[in-house]
Amino acid sequence: MNRETFYITTPIYYPSDKLHIGHSYTTIAADTISRFKRMKGFDVKFLTGTDEHGQKIQRKAEEEGTTPKEYVDHIVEGIKKLWETLDISNDQFIRTTDEFHKEAVKKIFKKLYDQGDIYKSHYEGWYCTPCESFWTEAQLKDGKCPDCERNVELTEEEAYFFKMSKYQDRLMKHIEDHPDFIQPQKIKNEMINNFLKPGLEDLCVSRTSFSWGVPVDFDPGHVVYVWIDALSNYITALGYLSDNDEEYKKYWPADVHLVGKDIARFHTIIWPTMLMALDIPLPKKVFGHGWILLQGGKMSKSKGNVVDPVILTQKYGVDAIRYYVLRELPFGSDGIYSEDNLINRINSDLANDLGNLISRTVAMVDKYFNGQLPGKQESGEFDDDLISLALETPIKAEKYIDNLQFSNALVEIWKLVSRTNKYIDETTPWILAKEEEKKSRLATVLYNLLESIRFISILITPFMPNTPKAIWEQIGIEEGDITTWDSLEEFGQYPITSKVQKGKVIFPRIDIEEGERPKKKQKEKKVEEKNQEEYITIEDFAKIDFRTAKVLKAEKVEGADKLIKMQLEMGNEIRQVVSGIAQFYSPEELVGKNLIVVANLKPIKIRGEESKGMILAASKGKKLTLVTIEEDMDSGTKIS
Ligand code: MSP
């Protein structure tokens, strides 16, 4: 049976020995979805590579007294190594200097020329004679060459142009008919409003001012200029226009081109119009992700050392880095990188939440049952809640990963991690262990914990390919049928014949003062820790159910000067809340007010009166004022 295919690409990278953590984002994200799709049984092709031609490379090689090819060879090796270090599972690595690619690009150029979609004309630009470079008006620095800062002249050069304008209407229609083609929406709007609506211009696709590129073989002196060469890699890698185009037939059109927002235009305008001219289908989706920024600005070569992915993986481990970039960058938006942030994530999400869950569970199974459980025996309170969340999580995570919302998928998975930790606090296994007759309940509790850990380990596999193996070793299972994504359809597959094995701490806590980081004084650290404790997460905040409520009735509580009891209308419900505001408001004043109530506060009795919730007020010294709603809102409306 033919399996469904999934073809995903990253951009091909410019050869630079300073690829930073931001560059790694695209590749880690593409790797994650590739791993997930493979787990789901797809026949995946994941392509990445390098974009090696152009004047810059030619000039750098000249400066180093070497050939451009020799110059890039060495850098490309470094890039391949980087992807190995980050456990990137690409199926192919294409170089635009690969012979098969160059041959196919020549044919593409010729085909477009022969059918009249490429024509010869003149390119006008600002020319810097010493640098032998053309610049556009926008690239100039104070009207001078951005490289050497010398004067430039407006010059003309003979060049070939691609009739991009001819495909404008067809492209607009395609975008309208395929709402998922450009994502996220923000990028789609930008492309339509900034480029398509004002009208597309024809595109200059050859150069004569440098020679390091794919030659235009029917016109010596011209080389193919960047985009036809670079973008074509997505089809030349599959053998398009070659003797063997089996892969092209199998995988094209691509399911996703994952690109940074800075190159979204090339992928959503130039590339589709080229494909239309070649009369081949367009990719199903182009997703333009946000950037990882440094506090205080963009990442750059000079700041490279602080964000060098190799150094970061050596310090913190590959899976931690992968987790961090995917968790930190929300769907389609920019995220800010800081090492403190990274360490906080490692310490809280990985060491505290996940690592502790595993070590606590394994230690208890070891202590109370010598490492092997007698199986599930006695169900009890909290089990259903845990099990239903475990079964829901893969469905939610799957949807998010498919929509490239990695951060949201991780949030869902971590809800299960937190729920499992909470289950330990709720069921208190250490108390159950004290009484012999509770042993059967204890066995079930620990079974549910190990099974939830099995769930979590599978869910994180696409994101963190190494950690699951370490977890499986500790909970005593091996990769196989019970570690597949499909096995998440049923809770209770952890084999009772398994024996846990205490092992190394999965994510050790990082001391914030470790390594090259500047030492902070003890006192400062304490203050910092305290401040951090004072933060709550968005999940903490989401636990509070704030509601609007209308005061229907209010009266003083007998025998208590300060208390007023109120009947509040909250949607269909009427509830009583007692509050210490009698010195500030009379009961009459309160009736009719629209207040805000913490609706899910545990009910208590005050002076024998039940109080279900708390109203919000600002108070300082002898002043107090109630928080009210300005506009008339339905009572019971949720506040977020
Ligand atoms: N060679 C072109 C792409 C041609 S594709 C046919 C190119 N190369 S690049 O090396 O400059 O960039 C590669 C990718 O890294 C791009 O998707 C770019 O958006 C991404 N990033 C570079 N810096 C980044 C961040 N700071 N954050 C996230 N992604 C970033 O463009």
Task: Lay out the sheet containing 133-135: strands in order across.
Answer: 133-135, 118-128, 153-162, 203-204
Q: Residue 194 — pLDDT band, cuts 50, 70, 90?
A: very high
Which ligand 1 atom lies nearest to the CA of residue 234? 6
Asked if residues 295 and 250 have their Cβ atoms less than 8 Å apart, the reply is: no
The answer, yes or no, to whether residue 591 has pLDDT greater than 60, is: yes
Q: Residue 479 — pLDDT band, cuts 50, 70, 90?
A: very high
Which ligand 1 atom lies nearest to the CA of residue 233? 6
Taking alpha carbons only, the member of 352, 354, 350, 356 closest to residue 320 is 350
Residue 438 has a pLDDT of 94
User: 446, exposed or middle or buried, with CB in 10 Å at 0-12, 13-18, 19+?
Assistant: buried
Residue 419 has a pLDDT of 98
Q: Mean pLDDT score of the chain, rounded to an integer?
A: 91
153 sits in which H/E element: strand 153-162
DSSP secondary structure string for all residues of 437-497: GGHHHHHHHHHHHHHHHHHHHHHTTTT-SSHHHHHHHHHT--SSGGGSSGGGGSS--S-TT
φ, ψ for residue 596, nearest 5 deg: -115, 130
Taking alpha carbons only, the member of 238, 261, 268, 243 closest to residue 46 is 238
| C-alpha 567 to ligand 1 mean position (Å) | 60
Which ligand 1 atom lies nearest to the CA of residue 259? 17
Using a CB cutoff of 8 Å and minimum separation of 24, what contacts does 528-536 make? 532/344
Farthest-apart Cα atoms in the chain, separation: 102
Asked if residues 248 and 238 have their Cβ atoms less than 8 Å apart, the reply is: yes
pLDDT in tens, 398-444: 999 999 999 999 999 999 999 999 999 999 999 999 999 999 999 99
pLDDT in tens, 347-390: 999 999 999 999 999 999 999 999 999 877 888 889 999 999 99
Supply 583's token pair.
């010195």
Task: Lay out the sheet containing 43-50: strands in order across.
Answer: 92-95, 43-50, 5-13, 256-260, 286-289, 182-183
pLDDT in tens, 236-262: 999 999 999 999 999 999 999 999 999
| C-alpha 259 to ligand 1 mean position (Å) | 7
Supply 338's token pair.
């800081």
From the CB of 287, is ligand 1 less than 6 Å away? no
Supply 49's token pair.
């590579």
Asked if residues 258 and 229 have their Cβ atoms less than 8 Å apart, the reply is: no
From the CB of 355, is ligand 1 less than 6 Å away? no
pLDDT in tens, 45-73: 999 999 999 988 998 999 999 999 999 99
Asked if residues 209 and 157 have their Cβ atoms less than 8 Å apart, the reply is: yes
From the CB of 260, is ligand 1 less than 6 Å away? yes
Intra-chain end-to-end CA distance of the chain, in Å: 50
Cα-Cα-Cα-Cα dihedral sign, residues 530, 535, 540, 546: positive
From the CB of 247, is ligand 1 less than 6 Å away? no
The answer, yes or no, to whether residue 517 has pLDDT greater than 60, is: no
pLDDT in tens, 324-333: 999 988 877 8
Taking alpha carbons only, the member of 211, 241, 242, 237 closest to residue 224 is 211
From the CB of 54, is ligand 1 less than 6 Å away? no
Supply 393's token pair.
């999580």
User: 415, exposed or middle or buried, with CB in 10 Å at 0-12, 13-18, 19+?
Assistant: middle
Residue 513 has a pLDDT of 62
Residue with the nearest Cα to atom 8 of ligand 1?
13
Strands (E), 175-301: 182-183, 203-204, 206-207, 223-224, 256-260, 286-289, 292-294
Residue 248 has a pLDDT of 98
Instruction: Give the mean model confidence (pLDDT) for residues 302-309.
Output: 75
| C-alpha 217 to ligand 1 mean position (Å) | 30
Choice among 298-312, 374-388, 399-413, 565-579 with the minimum mean pLDDT: 298-312
Q: In testing the pocket of ligand 1, which one of 8, 263, 267, 334 has its CB within 8 Å of the most ligand atoms?
A: 263
Instruction: Give the mean model confidence (pLDDT) for residues 551-573.
Output: 87
Beta-strand pair 118-128/133-135: antiparallel
Which range has the top average pLDDT, 138-142, 273-277, 544-548, 561-565? 273-277
From the CB of 262, is ligand 1 less than 6 Å away? yes
Residue 303 has a pLDDT of 66
| C-alpha 47 to ligand 1 mean position (Å) | 15
Residue 514 has a pLDDT of 52
